[in-house]
């Protein structure tokens, strides 16, 4: 090995800062660029790399891993026995069947009778209801998706009249949208991308504003969650969808207003990821005013956009801006019990836990993750941030904290009983 070759981070046990430097330099990234992505100074990056300051906490470590495009936190921390895949969870038992349905080519003469559009819509409504109400929501929709995908594809294939074909495309786009909720955090990102792009194509073919808005909302999320290099793409998709929908709002129904509101918040979410504080909160305020135009009991079945969700969205903005104190303040104001969807309520609890962790309240973070587990075990089991917080606290020096985190780790499946 030449003397100037990039060293393997696992050749020798090295400190966090040394690993960060190795990974940064292997990607050709300067300290200035990394500092900008993290909202820190180049001197801070240098001091971490040289071990002059304590290694950062879990939230900052996750941000560093994202900026360096590290897919597994162990590559940065130097603890290969503690495996944390940042963006993917363990593969669900239903994943193979869903993948097979997506990959199947609906070509040739259909051998089955085409499903009626109203029958497909009823099955979709039942699937969405199961997703929101079942603690094992991923299992429930994973069992329904293969047949739904095949039948929706068949409906498009056999449609003859233009109106019938567009209606079938709208159903297919919605089936793909439901699929994305199952595929999130699964160890097959290429499958998620295929489904997101197919949903957008089918939505455009449908010419239905609500369907187009939903598919754009999910495609923007896929870009945003891929990392900083895709933030511009996420913003472009969000803005194009809003430019299309906003002129339609005066004559639109509640679902179209809700998807426009959800897209508006998405723009704020991405701004928060960028560290653009004023822009993020401005979008949140606009989305809040749109939510207030909806009936108090209205709840969008795909995006969860509603009056009830805006408090949870405020927590998310504060957490993504890495403001621990503001995160806790917003968490105290938000009422999780008003969120009717179990997985969305669990996701809100995870965001609250991130806020408590940022604010130096690990005990509150674990207690809140316990609440997330009670709401929807499959949500916390596949969430990288939740797993990271739990595993960090299993090494706490405080016995009570360590015991409670370990008990939760066993329930989630991170540690053996």
155-166 pLDDT, tens digit per residue, is: 999 888 999 999
Residue 276 has pLDDT above 90, yes or no: yes
How confident is the model over 316-328, as a mean pLDDT? 94
Residue at token pair 């969430």: 383
Could you say which of 77, 112, 127 is where a domain stops? 77
pLDDT at 4: 45
Start-to-end Cα distance in the chain: 43
**Which has more confidence, 65 or 190?**
190
Looking from the CA of 158 toward its CB, the CA atoms found within 13 Å total: 15
- Residue 209 three-state SS: helix
Whether the predicted pLDDT of 66 surpasses 80: no
Contacts for 34 with CB less than 8 Å, ≥ 6 apart = 24, 45, 64, 67, 68
Range of 4-13, 175-184, 221-230, 386-395 with top mean pLDDT: 175-184
Residues 121 and 200 in one domain: yes
Of 267, 334, 259, 344, residue with least CA distance to 300: 259
The confidence score (pLDDT) of residue 340 equals 93
Residues 61 and 114 in one domain: no
What's the pLDDT tens digit per position in 141-197?
999 999 999 999 999 998 889 999 999 999 999 999 999 999 988 878 889 999 999
Is 7 part of any domain?
A: no
Question: Which two structure tokens, joined as six digits, stand for 375?
Answer: 């709401």
Taking residues 248-262, report their average pLDDT.
97
Looking at the structure, do residues 186 and 244 belong to the same domain, yes or no?
no
Look at residue 221 and tell me whether its pLDDT is greater than 90: yes
Q: For residues 21-49, b (16+ Cβ closer than 10 Å) or e, as one string?
A: bbbbeeeeeebeebbbbbebeeebbeebb
Q: Does residue 190 share a domain with residue 106?
A: yes
pLDDT attached to residue 217: 98
Residue-range definition of the domain harbouring residue 30? 16-77
Alpha helices in 27-136 (DSSP H): 31-38, 42-49, 58-67, 74-77, 95-103, 117-133
CB 151 within 8 A of CB 111: no
Please check whether residues 414 and 315 belong to one and the same domain. yes
Query: What integer pLDDT is reported at residue 71 of this predicted model?
Result: 62
Domain assignment of residue 87, yes or no: no
Residue 96 CB neighbour total at 10 angstroms: 12
- The DSSP 8-state label assigned to residue 6 in this structure reads P
pLDDT band with cut points at 50, 70 and 90 for residue 28: confident
Tally the domains of the chain.
4
What's residue 59's pLDDT? 66
Residue 79: per-residue pLDDT: 63
Could you tell me if 344 and 239 lie in one domain? no
Cβ-Cβ contacts under 8 Å for 401 (sequence gap 6 or more): 362, 363, 366, 393
Contact of 225 with 87, CB cutoff 8 Å = yes
Specify whether 360 is located in the same domain as 349. Answer: yes
Least confident residue range of 88-92, 257-261, 364-368: 88-92
Whether 392 and 404 map to the same domain: the answer is yes
- Note whether 395 and 414 are same-domain residues: yes
Q: Is 85 helix (H, G, I), strand (E, B) or coil?
A: strand
Name the burial class of residue 233, with classes exposed (0-12), middle (13-18) and buried (19+) by CB atoms within 10 angstroms of its CB. Answer: middle
Q: Quick one: pLDDT at residue 192? A: 93
Identify whether 174 is part of a domain: yes
107 and 176 together in one domain: yes
Confidence of residue 2 (pLDDT cuts 50, 70, 90): very low
Question: Can you give the pLDDT at residue 6?
Answer: 45
Which pLDDT value is given to residue 408?
93
* Between 51 and 145, residue with greater pLDDT: 145
Q: Which of 239, 318, 303 is nearest to 273 (CA)?
A: 318
For residue 367, tell me if it sits in a domain.
Answer: yes
Q: At 72, is the secondary structure helix, strand, or coil?
A: strand
In the prediction, which pLDDT does 15 show? 78
Whether residue 49 lies inside any domain: the answer is: yes
Check residue 193 and give its pLDDT.
94
Question: Do 173 and 211 form a contact (C-beta atoms < 8 A)?
Answer: yes
Tell me: do 337 and 416 sit in the same domain.
yes
Average pLDDT, integer, range 205-233:
95
Mean pLDDT of the chain: 88
In sign, the C-alpha dihedral spanning 297, 303, 304, 308 is negative
Q: What average pLDDT score do residues 3-25 get?
A: 64
The confidence score (pLDDT) of residue 14 equals: 54
Is the pLDDT at 11 greater than 70, yes or no? no
Q: Where are the alpha helices (DSSP H) in 207-309?
A: 209-226, 231-245, 254-274, 277-291
Smallest CA-to-CA distance from 49 within 20, 70, 78 is with 20
Which pLDDT score, from 0 to 100, does residue 1 have? 39
Q: Could you tell me if 290 and 314 lie in one domain?
A: no
CA-wise closest residue to 179 among 147, 224, 204: 147
Report residue 87's pLDDT band, with 50, 70 and 90 as the boundaries: very low
Q: With a cut of 80, say whether residue 307 has pLDDT above it.
A: yes
Q: Is residue 285 part of a domain?
A: yes
For the stretch 332-381, pLDDT in tens is 999 888 999 999 999 999 999 999 999 999 999 999 999 999 999 999 98
pLDDT of the residue at 80: 56
Q: How confident is the model at residue 19 (pLDDT cuts 50, 70, 90)?
A: confident
């Amino acid at each position: 090995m030449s003397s100037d070759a990039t060293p393997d981070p696992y050749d020798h046990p090295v400190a966090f800062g040394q690993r960060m430097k190795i990974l940064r330099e292997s990607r050709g990234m300067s300290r200035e660029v990394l500092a900008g992505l993290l909202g820190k100074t180049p001197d801070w990056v240098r001091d971490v790399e040289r071990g002059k300051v304590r290694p950062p906490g879990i939230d900052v470590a996750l941000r560093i891993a994202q900026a360096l495009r590290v897919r597994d936190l162990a590559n940065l921390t130097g603890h290969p026995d503690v495996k944390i895949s940042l963006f993917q969870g363990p593969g669900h038992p239903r994943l193979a069947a869903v993948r097979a349905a997506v990959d199947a080519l609906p070509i040739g003469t259909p051998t089955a009778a085409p499903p009626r559009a109203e029958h497909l819509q009823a099955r979709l409504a039942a699937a969405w209801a199961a997703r929101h109400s079942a603690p094992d929501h991923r299992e429930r929709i994973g069992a329904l998706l293969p047949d739904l995908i095949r039948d929706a594809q068949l409906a498009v294939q056999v449609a003859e009249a233009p109106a019938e074909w567009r209606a079938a495309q709208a159903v297919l786009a919605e089936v793909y949208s439901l699929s994305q909720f199952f595929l999130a955090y699964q160890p097959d990102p290429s499958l998620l991308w295929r489904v997101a792009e197919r949903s957008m194509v089918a939505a455009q073919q449908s010419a239905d504003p609500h369907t187009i808005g939903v598919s754009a909302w999910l495609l923007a999320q896929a870009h945003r969650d891929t990392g900083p290099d895709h933030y511009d793409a996420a913003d472009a998709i969000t803005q194009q969808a809003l430019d299309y929908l906003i002129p339609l709002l005066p004559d639109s129904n509640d679902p179209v207003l809700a998807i426009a509101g959800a897209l508006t918040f998405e723009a704020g979410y991405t701004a928060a990821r960028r560290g653009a504080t004023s822009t993020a909160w401005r979008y949140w305020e606009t989305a809040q005013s749109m939510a207030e135009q909806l009936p108090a009991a209205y709840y969008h079945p795909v995006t969860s956009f509603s009056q009830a969700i805006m408090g949870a969205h405020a927590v998310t903005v504060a957490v993504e801006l890495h403001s621990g104190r503001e995160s806790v303040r917003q968490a105290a104001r938000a009422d999780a019990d008003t969120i009717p969807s179990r997985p969305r309520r669990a996701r809100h609890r995870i965001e609250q836990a991130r806020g408590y962790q940022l604010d130096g309240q690990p005990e509150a973070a674990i207690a809140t993750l316990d609440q997330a587990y009670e709401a929807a075990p499959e949500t916390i089991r596949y969430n990288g941030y939740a797993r990271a917080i739990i595993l960090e606290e299993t090494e706490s020096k405080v016995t009570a904290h360590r015991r409670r985190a370990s008990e939760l780790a066993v329930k989630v499946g991170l540690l053996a009983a």
